[in-house]
Structure 1
Amino acid sequence: MWSEAQEFAYVRLTSTRDHKVDPWGVPEVTVRKHLLADYDVRARRISATYARFYLETEEGGQPDKKGRFYWMGLGAFAAKTVACALEDPRVTGMPPGTDQVRQGLGKGNMWLFYEVAPWHWMHANAADCMVLYERTRSDTNLVPALLTATQKMPWSAEALTRIGRLKSNEYVKKAFEKTREIEKLRAEKNIKARQEAQFDHLLAMAMHEQKMVLQPLIYEDEGFVWWVRQQRKAWVNWASPTLQLVFAAACEIDDPEFKSVAPASTVLENFDSRFKWISSAAKKYHGLMQTKPFHMESEMRAMASWVQVNDRSPLPIPPPMR
């Protein structure tokens, strides 16, 4: 089952549109799957998938259990933020060899998705197996074809080692214990208890995301951290994207109610400093989900529509997955 779950994540970031073009300049469509070439397009598909999991429109979704994958809603807005950063000329304009920020964002976003999406897919499609076999998940336990595909993925050798080879940990365990608790608490009868369980789930998954995946994968990468530090300097900061989370499908909005802006004192590469802001953003998300649910879910539905967005141009792309 873990191979099926991992394959779901891999296939979601693929295209059958080849890098070759026909006489009219249209990319050829083949039956062979290739990893999407554009980092921002990957990020929008990731955002769409997270939104679909929250909305229960993904594989295995059960609309009457909406809210059990609470972190996925926040994750959808966060992945959209990464897409916006990757589309920002201040990031895309960095010449090759000096684009560690773009590379770091692309690497962190993709491997976080490869790590967290299969947990949610497994629970949605085989909850009993999730309980029984949670501790057996590892890249080394994948079927040969999936193991080969994993090893071909960008940054795989570095990423798998740094993020613990896709294995479970205390935060994953707690997050899905809370997911099962949320499922048992009917919204109309246990409003407060359900909201508390959702927030506990949210923080557990956020800890997993930030401490177990992104911290070792990108925030301890010397090249990425050097550029992050440069962007904090006064002479560079004015030209850098604002560090914020916007609770909308758009990259930017005017209404501060739907924004969480990182304090100026935030040291992004420092886990404790960064997590103070992440915790604040999580609390704001949680509050908006109670007070502005129509807005939040409407924006998630807009992001969910990106699930089939494709590369803009036929760029050279990695070898076929199989």
Structure 2
Amino acid sequence: MSQRFQDSDSDQKKLNQNVRPISECERKRERLYDVTTDVVHVPVLTCEGLWRIYQSRAEDVVAPGGELIANPIERNRAINAAYAKLWLDDPRFQWAGLAAFASKTVGCGLLHARDSIDKIQKEYEASQKIRQPYTLSDLVDPNKVAQHARYERELEAADDDNPFWSINARLPGSSRSLTQEGLLYVYEKMALGNTTLFLDIYPLHLFYAQRGLNEFEECLKKRESIYGHPKFPVQWPVDQQELGFGVDYDDILLGFEALDSGHLAKSVRHLANHEQRNILQPIMYDDWKLDWLLFANHFYYVTRISPLPDIAQPIELTLASQCKRIDDDRTVTFDSSPLADLSDIDQRMAFVLRAARQFDELLRGSSRGLLEQSIRDIAAGQGVR
């Protein structure tokens, strides 16, 4: 079992047994069935109690002190590091190692979206300055002339830095352009998926690492019951109707059974299927607006027929700590067809499983050292820059 997470008294306690000697338990005189008697309150370690412990450890990563990390990029770095540390602690957690790279890629997408939104805004604000009305007296005022020249230089620099300069339409009264609205929508959806998946799957790994497969199987069906407790609220960023908390989908147990028996690639397939079908599909890819934006991005990237081809980003996974693509077998691409659809679960699973196979092959070969160093970099909070 893992040693990294043995930082709680409960880690050493036995399931369904009292957590302290009866002699140390609280005694009270209570009236039961019309008889006054001594009652000993004995705390027992239950499945629900364990799930609360491991769920709270996941929450400590993304919501230290009970407050969700407001900046999705900073939150993503914490998630990336947590996944990476899982794999470093126990390389059997191959899904977590792959997830460190996949989540890092999400962070790169968040960074691109945020930077693009900022560049559009900077160009817009510069253009508003240059459009200020000038009087005849301004034309002979050296200070006004110098100011206007400075505004022109600022606008030119902002235009050069903004790849979206020609598609910056705004609806009347809107504080953001339509392009910014689209980027922000993708940004928020990616952050939501990243956080929700982590809160679902990270506690599963902690439970298995600390308690083993037998107790994991015994307790799995009881996980969802901890949601809604008035004294111990659970951080869950989506509505229960959209995605219920802690549902014991078949692929979860199948994944950890495969892991426990040493079939790591099979374990990754099951957990990836759970990740994509049960978590990300309902909260991200069933959203028609997000699907349209992702499809348009891929179409324009593949066809290069956009008037501004550099704005579209490739859909790919780079098995390295950096955002920039590496032109070797550590980069796995989605699909070269312009009609490929990332929201289609079968097409997306083919991409995910191809990345999983590549990760497994590289771990078995001479590139393992490169992958391990990249995961160490991610664990140290590097990579998304």
TM-score by length of 1: 0.76
Q: Which residue of 1 aligns with 2:294?
A: 228
Matched, 1:244 2:293: no
| TM-aligned CA distance change 1:139 to 1:298, over 3 Å | farther
Matched, 1:102 2:171: no
| TM-aligned CA distance change 1:166 to 1:33, over 3 Å | closer
Write the letter of the residue equivalent to 2:54.
A
Q: Which residue of 1 aligns with 2:173?
A: none
| TM-aligned CA distance change 1:242 to 1:177, over 3 Å | same
Q: Which residue of 2 aligns with 1:156?
A: 238
Pick from 223, 229, 232: which aligns with 1:146? 232
| TM-aligned CA distance change 1:139 to 1:37, over 3 Å | farther
Q: Which residue of 2 aligns with 1:300?
A: 375
Q: 1: distance between equivalents of 2:254 and 2:361?
A: 22
| TM-aligned CA distance change 1:11 to 1:92, over 3 Å | farther
| TM-aligned CA distance change 1:164 to 1:254, over 3 Å | same
Q: 1: distance between equivalents of 2:188 and 2:261?
A: 38
Would the aligned equivalents of 1:54 and 1:69 in 2 still touch at CA under 8 Å?
Answer: yes
Q: 2: distance between equivalents of 1:136 and 1:280?
A: 33
Q: Which residue of 2 aligns with 1:285?
A: 359
Would the aligned equivalents of 1:3 and 1:142 in 2 still touch at CA under 8 Å?
Answer: no
Q: 2: distance between equivalents of 1:274 and 1:121?
A: 27
Q: Which residue of 2 aligns with 1:6?
A: 55
Q: 2: distance between equivalents of 1:101 and 1:89?
A: 8
Q: CA deviation at 1:253?
A: 4.0
Secondary structure of 1:137 counterpart: helix
Q: How many equivalent pairs are there?
A: 264
User: For residues 134-170 of structure 1, what are the alpha-carbon distances to aligned partners after superposition, in whole Å with 9 as ceiling and x for unaligned?
Assistant: 11111644643432x52xx5x431xx43333221111
Q: CA deviation at 1:116?
A: 0.3
Secondary structure of 2:244 counterpart: coil
Unaligned runs of 5+ in 1: 16-31, 57-65, 183-196, 313-322
Q: 2: distance between equivalents of 1:91 and 1:270?
A: 28
More relative contact order in 1 or in 2 (CA 8 Å, sep 6+)? 1
Matched, 1:263 2:335: yes
Which has more radius of gyration? 2
Write the letter of the residue equivalent to 2:85.
R
Matched, 1:43 2:73: no
Write the letter of the residue equivalent to 1:170.
D
Write the letter of the residue equivalent to 1:156.
V
| TM-aligned CA distance change 1:89 to 1:105, over 3 Å | closer
Q: CA deviation at 1:239?
A: 1.2
Q: Which residue of 1 aligns with 2:274?
A: 208
Secondary structure of 1:123 counterpart: helix
Write the letter of the residue equivalent to 1:119.
L
Write the letter of the residue equivalent to 2:246.
L
| TM-aligned CA distance change 1:237 to 1:198, over 3 Å | farther
Q: 2: distance between equivalents of 1:277 and 1:199?
A: 15
Q: CA deviation at 1:229?
A: 2.7
Would the aligned equivalents of 1:13 and 1:35 in 2 still touch at CA under 8 Å?
Answer: yes
Would the aligned equivalents of 1:162 and 1:213 in 2 still touch at CA under 8 Å?
Answer: no
Q: 2: distance between equivalents of 1:247 and 1:273?
A: 20
Q: 2: distance between equivalents of 1:259 and 1:80?
A: 13
Once superposed, what is the RMSD of the aligned Cα atoms? 2.3
Q: CA deviation at 1:258?
A: 1.2
Secondary structure of 1:35 counterpart: coil
| TM-aligned CA distance change 1:288 to 1:142, over 3 Å | farther
Q: 2: distance between equivalents of 1:114 and 1:11?
A: 10
Secondary structure of 1:164 counterpart: coil
| TM-aligned CA distance change 1:91 to 1:108, over 3 Å | farther
Would the aligned equivalents of 2:298 and 2:313 in 1 still touch at CA under 8 Å?
Answer: no
User: For residues 208-260 of structure 1, what are the alpha-carbon distances to aligned partners after superposition, in whole Å with 9 as ceiling and x for unaligned?
Assistant: 11111111110001221232233234327641221110111111143322110
User: For residues 22-60 of structure 1, what are the alpha-carbon distances to aligned partners after superposition, in whole Å with 9 as ceiling and x for unaligned?
Assistant: xxxxxxxxxx4421111111111111111111111xxxx
Would the aligned equivalents of 2:318 and 2:326 in 1 still touch at CA under 8 Å?
Answer: no
Matched, 1:68 2:92: yes
Moved more, 125-134 or 115-124: 125-134
Q: CA deviation at 1:85?
A: 0.6
Matched, 1:131 2:131: no
User: For residues 293-319 of structure 1, what are the alpha-carbon distances to aligned partners after superposition, in whole Å with 9 as ceiling and x for unaligned?
Assistant: 111111111111129x9xx9xxxxxxx
Would the aligned equivalents of 1:135 and 1:168 in 2 still touch at CA under 8 Å?
Answer: yes
Would the aligned equivalents of 1:44 and 1:80 in 2 still touch at CA under 8 Å?
Answer: yes
